[in-house]
Amino acid sequence: MRYVYGVLFTLLVIGASAQDGGLKRPDLPGELMVDVGFNVWSSMPGDLERKTWRSKSIGLYYAKRKALNGKLSFNYGIGLGLEKMSLGDTVTLASNLLDNNGTANNQDDDFIRSVAIITNPENFDKNRLAMTYLDLPVEFRFHPFGTEDGEGLFIGAGGIVGIRLNAHTKWKYENNGETTREKVSGKFNLNSFRYGYQIRGGFRGVHFFYKRYLSNVFNDEFEDGSNPVMTTIGINVTGF
């Protein structure tokens, strides 16, 4: 995720410079939308835990706007949704590519859906599941005081669909007095598609958003019958 923060910082610098007249903004037919927030699951399977403040969500979208009349517009875009779920200190998602010691084996590429306690580390310093989606957000926006170019106060509602591009877990823990870092990529029984609705509201290039996905995070239920859905809330900056 470090490269994402680098991109965000660069965009903020460019945007500030453009407003000061230092740079000329390219004449593009659309604009860049950046969503930054937190994600939560409706339930945590098995013994998994969630650290909300470390569970981040970033959306990078190229968006366009079509005015329907002086107060109503249709907005649509395409981009990447990057979700990071912090899974607590002791339990993580495991796959059948890992044995009980966390060592990889290459028998097949079919990840099981259970969670497992990794026995070697005493505690995780870092325990994350990261997912990247190709997202297509659409929405209608209502501007109560009217608008010509999308500026001003607005409220909006619409939908979002996405295709999962990749996923991985990342662990950091102490093992026999040494710091160990591991990264494992795979499917983890994650749903390949996601869909849901979104609500947005704000003023000009800054607004708040709420995304509720109606699709389950995983393909199948866990042994305890749970299969969470994801909610994301945060703030957006638009207009680069």
Return the SS3 of 49: coil
What are the chain's domains? 31-238 (2.40.160)
Q: What is the pTM of this model?
A: 0.79
Q: Which of 236, 59, 41, 231 is nearest to 137 (CA)?
A: 59
Question: To the nearest whole number, what is the mean pLDDT of the chain?
Answer: 80
Report the Cα 27 to chain-centroid distance in Å.
29
66 vs 15, more confident: 66
117: confidence class by pLDDT, cuts 50, 70, 90: very low
8 Å CB contact between 102 and 92:
no
Q: What is the DSSP letter of 224?
A: T
**How much is the pLDDT for 119?**
45
**How much is the pLDDT for 104?**
46
95 vs 51, more confident: 51
